[in-house]
Amino acid sequence: MRITPGRTIRTGAAALALITLSACGGGGTGKADSHGPFRVLAVLPLSGALAEQAKLQMSGLQAAADDLNGRGGIGGRKIEIASVDDKLNPTEAVSRLQSRLNGSERPDYVLAGATSNETLAMLPALTNARVLSGTTASDRSMDDPKKYPYHFGYQSANDQNYASAVRFMKTRGVRTLAFIASNDALGTYNRSAIENAVKGTGIKLVAQSYDSKATDLTAPLDALRSARPDLLLASGYGPAVGYILDARQKLNWSVPVIGDSGFAGSNPASLVDSSALKDVLIQTFKVAALSERGSWQPATERMVKAVAAKGPVKQIITLAAEPYDALQVLGVAAEQAGGTDPADLKKAMESLKRPSPVPWTTYAAYAYSTKAHFPVVNDSDFSYLPASVLVQGQFEASS
């Protein structure tokens, strides 16, 4: 009986090679072809509740691929992008991923899901296959270079985002902070993030969570109001954003609100009447704030145009900007590593020398290290804006 994992893969691959005659070019043998195209596979929820967001991520990838291919691709290899729909289902995601990992067109880089559930399910297979991956999902449990050495997040987790937001609140004199988040994976993580972020700042935190399927949030908001907070930090996605603002208005509660990046991405102005948006700010990356044009990274304007050319931008632009950045960062890493070997790329990513000008758009520096594979946030990456309508994925209002 064969027992070791290494053998397993070889055995499986041999069996596969026997029956799939198309398995030329080293299908499943553990190494991608280093001369052919640089294959990028996006495993995304292209159907279902997050379909629009996933499509925008695809636009970002394609825009970056066009840009990079115009300059010779990644490490001299032309980028080819393929996508599969995982229907927001972790099991389906792994199924789809594995069939590609074992197939003839083995990916060099995988955009692994839009939520932490999908990503966490795929990471063991990706790690086993030593394939570089990244995702916009941001749960710190994925930022574990020992466990998942080839995974690099390209959205900072909310522990950093919230810490930045708390520093902003301090300047506004907030003493009691209310926080509301859903009880799903992201919301639960966010709640622990804000608890850590307020530690030692002297800010008192009151928190409530709500069921991700709830349709009325009057009760948790009323409970928060009774603690008389100076500010409400709201985390949410989709209809919940509307329910939160609705309930606040219904309760006649004038507390100022800061919505986190997910909240901002849900385009609150499309969900509620403008009267419900009084004193509502959103924490957003500068790349999504038209008024911050002056302090954008130099490549931003080009990226926004290129993404818009790929299709209508109905969601917040960061969804495209971050995958765009992911490929750009890879491109820089490949240059510095002098090739596209996964181990070399990984090493180059962990000690990336910041080029000038930077080809990416969202963060000033991604600043990965051997200890952290999530981007490092600077307060200057963010902007706090009134929630206005999104135009081409960007907020028009200025702070």
Least spacing, CB of residue 6 vs other proteins, in Å = 9
Report the C-alpha gap between 269 and 39 in whole angstroms: 38
209 belongs to the binding site for other proteins (CB under 8 A): yes
Report the C-alpha gap between 368 and 372 in whole angstroms: 6
User: Which residues are CB-contacts of 232 (< 8 A; sequence separation ≥ 6)?
Assistant: 177, 178, 179, 180, 224, 248, 255, 256, 257, 258
Say if residues 183 and 214 touch (Cβ distance below 8 Å): no
Select from 71, 172, 213, 353 the one that contacts other proteins (CB under 8 A). 213
In the complex with other proteins, which residue's Cβ is closer, 151 or 286?
A: 151
In the complex with other proteins, which residue's Cβ is closer, 47 or 399?
A: 47
Return the structure tokens found at 231: 């500010």
Tell me the backbone φ, ψ of residue 126, rounded to 5 degrees.
Answer: -65, -40
Least spacing, CB of residue 206 vs other proteins, in Å = 12
Select from 124, 311, 339, 355 the one that contacts other proteins (CB under 8 A). 124
In the complex with other proteins, which residue's Cβ is closer, 15 or 343?
A: 15
In the complex with other proteins, which residue's Cβ is closer, 90 or 256?
A: 90
In the complex with other proteins, which residue's Cβ is closer, 182 or 394?
A: 182
Residue 70 buriedness (CB in 10 A; 0-12 / 13-18 / 19+): exposed
| Binding positions for other proteins, 128-187, rule CB under 8 A | 139, 141, 147, 183-185
| Binding positions for other proteins, 232-271, rule CB under 8 A | 238-239, 242, 247, 249-252, 266-267, 270-271
| Binding positions for other proteins, 277-296, rule CB under 8 A | none
Q: Segment contacting other proteins (CB under 8 A): 14-22, 164-172, 278-286, 355-363?
A: 14-22
Residue 278 DSSP label: T
Least spacing, CB of residue 152 vs other proteins, in Å = 17
Say if residues 213 and 182 touch (Cβ distance below 8 Å): no
21 belongs to the binding site for other proteins (CB under 8 A): no
211 belongs to the binding site for other proteins (CB under 8 A): yes
Helix, strand or coil, per DSSP, at residue 48: coil
Report the C-alpha gap between 381 and 306 in whole angstroms: 22
Helix, strand or coil, per DSSP, at residue 350: helix
In the complex with other proteins, which residue's Cβ is closer, 62 or 266?
A: 266
Helix, strand, coil percent content, the chain, rounded in steps of 5: 45, 15, 40
Least spacing, CB of residue 185 vs other proteins, in Å = 4
User: Which residues are CB-contacts of 331 (< 8 A; sequence separation ≥ 6)?
Assistant: 68, 71, 74, 359
Count of residues engaged in binding other proteins, rule: CB under 8 A: 77
227 belongs to the binding site for other proteins (CB under 8 A): no
| Binding positions for other proteins, 308-367, rule CB under 8 A | 314
48 belongs to the binding site for other proteins (CB under 8 A): yes
3 belongs to the binding site for other proteins (CB under 8 A): yes
Select from 59, 62, 83, 116 the one that contacts other proteins (CB under 8 A). 116
Least spacing, CB of residue 384 vs other proteins, in Å = 24
Select from 22, 25, 34, 95 the one that contacts other proteins (CB under 8 A). 95
DSSP secondary structure of 169-209: HHHTT--EEEEEEESSHHHHHHHHHHHHHHTTTT-EEEEEE
In the complex with other proteins, which residue's Cβ is closer, 140 or 286?
A: 140
7 belongs to the binding site for other proteins (CB under 8 A): yes
Q: Which of 65, 67, 74, 57 is nearest to 330 (CA)?
A: 74
Return the structure tokens found at 198: 């307020």
In the complex with other proteins, which residue's Cβ is closer, 128 or 291?
A: 128
In the complex with other proteins, which residue's Cβ is closer, 182 or 361?
A: 182
Return the structure tokens found at 320: 């495209």
222 belongs to the binding site for other proteins (CB under 8 A): yes
- Strands (E) across the chain are located at 38-44, 79-85, 109-112, 132-134, 176-182, 204-210, 231-234, 257-259, 280-285, 382-386, 390-391, 394-395
Q: Segment contacting other proteins (CB under 8 A): 65-73, 165-173, 210-218, 349-357?
A: 210-218
Select from 38, 150, 179, 210 the one that contacts other proteins (CB under 8 A). 210
